[in-house]
């Protein structure tokens, strides 16, 4: 009897020890705290775009048709932009800030080949907004166009001889345009659109973003803008997300936070 009791007592003692060890191991495990999320933040956006008044309302069609671009024998790269009016127009004059419609043909000095022409695309005019001559401002086209088109009048035709420094520079545009290549263009101004004083505000969208209090919330901006969005209340930081498409500015409003917008432009 005493031996059986000892065996039972030993078994019980071992079980208690195992139980105690299990409890001790459990007690030493780290505690993980999983934070919950704060209520969703609703972000309302509106898009402001320039409103242009165009003259003529429909682009004119050059009566002379597609021009021939002639590169003189022995021509060398000019030190600066050269322009020559082949035909003076009688319509509105193109100025910095105007959106203009152009027909064009372009050739490269390095090989004399035509590398691009609007006429080969069903004579569909190419439109762009003329940027200021400031080299720090990146426009929608090469600088030679920004500078060379200013002063033209609708119905006019002009020769542009653009040095590489105002075109595609050292990078060129292989395989048609070499490094620092000089470009010859004959351009027709077919429409001038002048920005009006009051821009048009397009309807915006509403985005709901869930984030933890004190976190950073990032939201991609509308086309052509840099949108700065503050996170939810609780001391959160801000992140600016630029977009890649040009021609608009987005204003983003966030509850319990501040916003800022910066327009951006991407060159084609």
Tens-digit pLDDT profile for residues 20-78: 444 444 445 554 544 555 566 666 666 677 789 999 999 999 999 999 999 999 999 99
Catalytic position from the list 116, 146, 181, 188: 116
Catalytic position from the list 126, 128, 184, 185: 185
pLDDT computed for residue 39 by the predictor: 61
pLDDT in tens, 70-128: 999 999 999 999 999 999 999 999 999 999 999 999 999 999 999 999 999 999 999 99
pLDDT computed for residue 195 by the predictor: 92
Mean pLDDT, the chain, integer:
74
Catalytic residue check, 116: yes
pLDDT computed for residue 26 by the predictor: 45
Q: Each residue of 21-56: b (16+ CB within 10 Å) or e? A: eeeeeeeeeeeeeeeeebeebebebebbebebebee
Which segment of 135-139, 155-159, 232-236 scores lowest on mean pLDDT? 232-236
Catalytic residue check, 168: yes
Catalytic position from the list 168, 181, 184, 188: 168
pLDDT confidence bin for 196, thresholds 50/70/90: confident
pLDDT computed for residue 131 by the predictor: 97
**Global pTM?**
0.60
CA–CA gap between residue 103 and residue 60 (Å, rounded) = 10
pLDDT computed for residue 49 by the predictor: 72
Catalytic position from the list 98, 104, 146, 181: 104
CA–CA gap between residue 184 and residue 66 (Å, rounded) = 15
Catalytic position from the list 130, 142, 162, 177: 142
pLDDT computed for residue 102 by the predictor: 98
Which domains occur in the chain, in start order?
52-70+77-195 (3.10.50.40), 211-263 (no CATH)
């Amino acid at each position: 009897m005493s031996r059986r009791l000892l065996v039972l007592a030993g078994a019980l003692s071992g079980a208690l020890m195992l139980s105690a060890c299990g409890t001790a191991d459990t007690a030493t495990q780290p505690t993980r705290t999983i934070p919950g999320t704060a209520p969703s933040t609703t972000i309302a956006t509106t898009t402001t775009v320039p409103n242009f008044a165009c003259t003529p309302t429909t682009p004119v069609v050059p009566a002379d048709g597609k021009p021939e671009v002639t590169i003189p024998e022995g021509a060398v790269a000019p030190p600066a932009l050269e322009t020559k009016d082949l035909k003076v127009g009688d319509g509105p004059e193109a100025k910095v800030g105007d959106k203009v419609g152009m027909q064009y043909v372009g050739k490269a000095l390095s090989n004399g080949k035509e590398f691009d022409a609007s006429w080969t695309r069903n004579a569909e005019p190419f439109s762009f907004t003329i940027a200021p001559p400031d080299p720090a401002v990146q426009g929608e086209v090469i600088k030679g166009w920004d500078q060379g088109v200013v002063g033209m009048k609708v119905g006019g035709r002009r020769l542009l001889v653009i040095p590489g420094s105002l075109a595609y520079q050292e990078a060129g545009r292989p395989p048609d345009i070499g490094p620092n290549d000089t470009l010859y263009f004959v351009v027709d101004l077919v429409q001038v659109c002048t920005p009006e004083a009051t821009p048009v505000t397009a309807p915006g969208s509403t985005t709901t973003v869930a984030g933890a209090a004190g976190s950073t919330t990032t939201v991609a901006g509308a086309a052509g803008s840099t949108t700065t969005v503050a996170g939810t209340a609780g001391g959160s930081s801000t992140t600016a997300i630029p977009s890649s498409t040009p021609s608009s500015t987005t204003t983003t409003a966030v509850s319990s936070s501040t916003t800022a917008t910066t327009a951006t432009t991407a060159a084609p």
